[in-house]
Amino acid sequence: MSKKKNRKKHQAQKKSSPRKSSKSHQHKLKSKSAHQAASQAASQAAPSKHALVALPSATKVTETTFSKKLEEAISENELVSRKGLFGGRVILLGPPTGYTQEEWRIYLRRILKIVLKFLAVILIIGVVTSAVVVIELVSDHRVLPQVIFAGEDLGYLKLDEAKAKLAPRLKKFADSSETFYFEGKAVDIPLSELGVAYPLDENFDRLPKFDFQSNNIFSLIAASISPAGDLPAVFHIERDRFYGVIESRFGFDKLGARSAQFYKDDKKKIQISPERAGIAIDKLNFEKELSGLFATHTTHGFIIPTVSEVPTVTVQDLKNSQSDLEVKLDNEITLHYGSKKWKFKPKNHLEDIVYDKLNGQIVIKISPSLISAFFQKEVFDSFEVPVGDLKISQDKDGKIVFDGRARNGLVVDQEKFAKDLELALNSLGSDMDVSTLEIKSKVETTPELQAIGIKELISTGHTAFANSHTNRRHNIGVGMAKFNGLMIKPDETFSFNDNLGPVDASTGYQLELVIKAEGTVPDYGGGLCQVSSTAFKAALFAGLPIVERAPHSYAVSYYAQVDGYGLDATIYPGVRDLKFINDTGHNILMQSFTDGDQAYFNFFGTSDGRQVRLENYWRGNYRAAGGTELIPTTTLPTGAKKQIEGANGGFDASWERVITRDGQEARDKIYSVYRATANRILVGQ
């Protein structure tokens, strides 16, 4: 009740009293507020209605900045009210003057602190990230830390330094010797003689390396915390050669079991030598020990383990099958490789023919000695090609530098050869194709060349020019050099003549025979068709579309020395050209060189998986050579004669090129027509 009276009294006083200054009004409000607060406290604390209680002295009210400013605003504005709005009981207040600005300052300071903290975190992250990137960049193309390879510490070396350090270590291994023991006999044998090799590139490739594009800092940390240990070396053993040397040095050829065998006596009659028991090398256990010790090169000598060996075929076995075996031994077999042929009659090699028992029947087998003593020398060496590896880089001027000569190796698949020959011998076959294996050349290119697609060998063109004259050999060498290091862009049509340039004495060519309309006459650049024919074969085996190609007017034996007739390409600037398109989608880099009587064009690029083979070789439509034709000339002294063309028969030749890509086959025919020629002789008038 007292509160209502006081509020009414206050409102009445407010209506009747005149406007006073802000300070007096504030002082009056403070007094009234204090008095009211004291009265309320006294009434609430009174124990009874009629008791008199002494009022406590007024408690000092704490003034805040907000309350002080609020009271000032109220005293100045007299509590602005709006009539009619809830009976005038609603008071609309605005924030004190300057209060909003002060609050924004507080908010701005808080935001600034947050921004500064955020920037500090970003800075720390940036510094750490930069440090990690720098470490990774410094570690790029290095061996991982704590790598020990074949006893050599290569940890964190640059790749070229690691390879340079690894090379002498492996060479030391390969140049060393090992001691072998058997029945009290010790023989020291060089590993090179045994066919044991430690290939540098294969061992180098096994090194765990850091690559910025594929590794991260965790690879370095993991390698530092948990090293890989001493990595074993990679080595290769030529198995047949290895055991051949061991058996020869210790006489195992005399100690081993031997089946009964046919031989010819002094009167050339076939006799049978008896079987014998013996001992042989326990190759399974021997190789287990060899593999571990050669890999770590912690060898201490090898005791050769042996097993007992019993003969498979007895004298009685051969007697029972002698009539059948003699027919097979007298059968002649023709071996084929390309256009080459060899005759083989087993009866002439009885000492190297052995026998085995299969399903109760006696069969003819080919001994390793027959392979090495006869077929390797008489057959395989005539066409096998050793593999050649290559590194490609660029000098400071961007010129291509070839370190080596890329050449895929070609060897006879001797295991398949022996099986095929044994099948032909036992089935009375008359013909057999010699199977070969291609050994891919290892091509190493720089990252810059790989980025433009120069990654691998995609094809090789090969021709031979044995028996060529000196000037012809010279011109071939000059012409080959024009194309070495040449780049063919994607979708570019390559023109041989455009890249060959002028052909005369000023460009280094000499006079040599050239086929012209008037005959085969001396001219500058004679022999350049050897270069164009080699380039044509490289394009052919790369599966590239051939735009322009022409065979020679008559068959030239130079171009048939490899692969036969029908794969030549004649050129003559302004008249004949060789053109093909690079449709691989990547650059093609050419390497051209000669090796003795052999010419090679290598194409490097990026394989798209296409496979190319030539098949269905055909020759026909033979035409007889002409007679002798005398041609008067004033270029020779009177009565002098000079032959400008020899008599040759004419014929047609064709090949089918089969290109397989994405499971689809495409075929195109290479057709050549060679005219018959006569003896053409110039006679001076």
Confidence at 98, pLDDT banded by 50, 70, 90: low
What does the pLDDT read at residue 375?
A: 93
User: What is the per-residue pLDDT across 374-409, written as a single tens digit (0 to 9) for each?
Assistant: 999 999 999 898 888 899 999 988 899 999 888 888
* Dist. CA 153–CA 612, nearest whole Å: 46
Q: Are 269 and 297 in contact (CB under 8 A)?
A: no
Q: Which two tokens stand for residue 197?
A: 């090799």
C-alpha count within 13 angstroms, C-beta hemisphere, residue 355: 33
In angstroms, the first-to-last Cα distance of the chain is 160
Indicate if the pLDDT at residue 11 is higher than 90. Answer: no
The predicted model scores a pTM of 0.52
Mean pLDDT of 260-273: 88
More confident residue, 559 or 548: 548
* Dist. CA 584–CA 567, nearest whole Å: 22
Q: Are 187 and 249 in contact (CB under 8 A)?
A: yes
Q: What percent of the chain has pLDDT over 90?
A: 34
User: What is the per-residue pLDDT across 616-661, written as a single tens digit (0 to 9) for each?
Assistant: 999 999 988 877 877 787 777 888 887 766 778 889 999 999 999 9
* Dist. CA 446–CA 455, nearest whole Å: 9
More confident residue, 93 or 334: 334
C-alpha count within 13 angstroms, C-beta hemisphere, residue 404: 15
What does the pLDDT read at residue 154?
A: 79
Indicate if the pLDDT at residue 123 is higher than 60. Answer: yes
Indicate if the pLDDT at residue 306 is higher than 70. Answer: yes
Nearest to 533 by CA among 611, 619, 603, 599: 599
Pairing of strands 306-309, 302-303: unpaired
* Domain boundary assignment for the chain: 1-45, 62-97, 101-139, 140-309, 312-451, 452-684
Q: Are 172 and 256 in contact (CB under 8 A)?
A: no
What does the pLDDT read at residue 244?
A: 85
- Tokens 């090799």 found at: 197
More confident residue, 141 or 625: 625
Indicate if the pLDDT at residue 419 is higher than 80. Answer: yes
Residue 385 is classified by DSSP as: B
Confidence at 23, pLDDT banded by 50, 70, 90: very low
Residue 380 is classified by DSSP as: G
Pairing of strands 333-337, 431-433: parallel
User: What is the per-residue pLDDT across 153-172, written as a single tens digit (0 to 9) for each?
Assistant: 877 788 888 888 888 888 88
Indicate if the pLDDT at residue 82 is higher than 60. Answer: no
User: What is the per-residue pLDDT across 314-364, written as a single tens digit (0 to 9) for each?
Assistant: 999 999 999 999 999 999 999 999 778 999 999 999 888 999 998 889 999
Phi, psi (rounded to 5 degrees) for 527: 110, -10
Q: Are 185 and 250 in contact (CB under 8 A)?
A: yes
Nearest to 525 by CA among 539, 513, 538, 537: 513
Element (H, E) at 353: strand 353-358
Q: Are 578 and 532 in contact (CB under 8 A)?
A: yes
Burial (CB < 10 A; 0-12, 13-18, 19+), residue 631, is: middle
Q: Which two tokens stand for residue 320?
A: 């029972």
Task: Assign domain 312-451 to its CATH architecture.
Answer: Roll (3.10)
Confidence at 74, pLDDT banded by 50, 70, 90: low
Please tell me the chain's helix, strand, coil percentages from 3-state DSSP, rounded to the nearest 5: 35, 30, 35
- Tokens 């000695």 found at: 369
Nearest to 252 by CA among 280, 275, 273, 276: 280
Lowest mean pLDDT among 135-144, 297-306, 643-652: 135-144
Instruction: Give the mean pLDDT of the chain.
Output: 81
Q: Which two tokens stand for residue 354?
A: 């052995």
- Tokens 């060519």 found at: 509
Indicate if the pLDDT at residue 194 is higher than 60. Answer: yes
Lowest mean pLDDT among 16-25, 233-242, 285-294: 16-25
Bridge partner list, 393 = 401
Indicate if the pLDDT at residue 19 is higher than 70. Answer: no
Q: Are 656 and 666 in contact (CB under 8 A)?
A: no
What does the pLDDT read at residue 51?
A: 46
Full strand arrangement of the beta sheet holding 598-605: 456-464, 598-605, 588-595, 487-488
Measure the CA angle with vertex 215, ends 213 and 220; round to 5°: 140
User: What is the per-residue pLDDT across 520-542, written as a single tens digit (0 to 9) for each?
Assistant: 556 666 789 999 999 999 999 99
* Dist. CA 40–CA 3, nearest whole Å: 9
More confident residue, 559 or 50: 559
Indicate if the pLDDT at residue 299 is higher than 70. Answer: no
Indicate if the pLDDT at residue 424 is higher than 90. Answer: yes
- Catalogue the E-assigned strands of 395-470: 400-407, 409-412, 431-433, 436-439, 443-445, 456-464
- Tokens 């007889």 found at: 624
Q: Which two tokens stand for residue 153?
A: 């510490």
Bridge partner list, 623 = 650
Collapsing DSSP states into helix, strand and coil, what is residue 564? Answer: coil
Nearest to 302 by CA among 310, 292, 312: 292
Three-class SS of 507-530: HCCCEEEEEECCEEEEEECCCHHH
* Dist. CA 187–CA 180, nearest whole Å: 5
Indicate if the pLDDT at residue 600 is higher than 50. Answer: yes
What does the pLDDT read at residue 101?
A: 67
Confidence at 499, pLDDT banded by 50, 70, 90: very high
Nearest to 566 by CA among 586, 588, 550, 579: 550
What does the pLDDT read at residue 33?
A: 47
More confident residue, 21 or 474: 474
Mean pLDDT of 296-305: 76
Indicate if the pLDDT at residue 45 is higher than 70. Answer: no
Q: Which amino acid is present at 400?
A: I
For 303-308, the CB contacts below 8 A with 24+ separation are 303/180, 303/181, 303/182, 304/180, 304/181, 304/182, 304/246, 304/250, 305/281, 306/182, 306/279, 306/280, 306/281, 306/282, 307/279, 307/280, 307/281, 307/282, 308/277, 308/278, 308/279
What does the pLDDT read at residue 165?
A: 85
Confidence at 92, pLDDT banded by 50, 70, 90: low
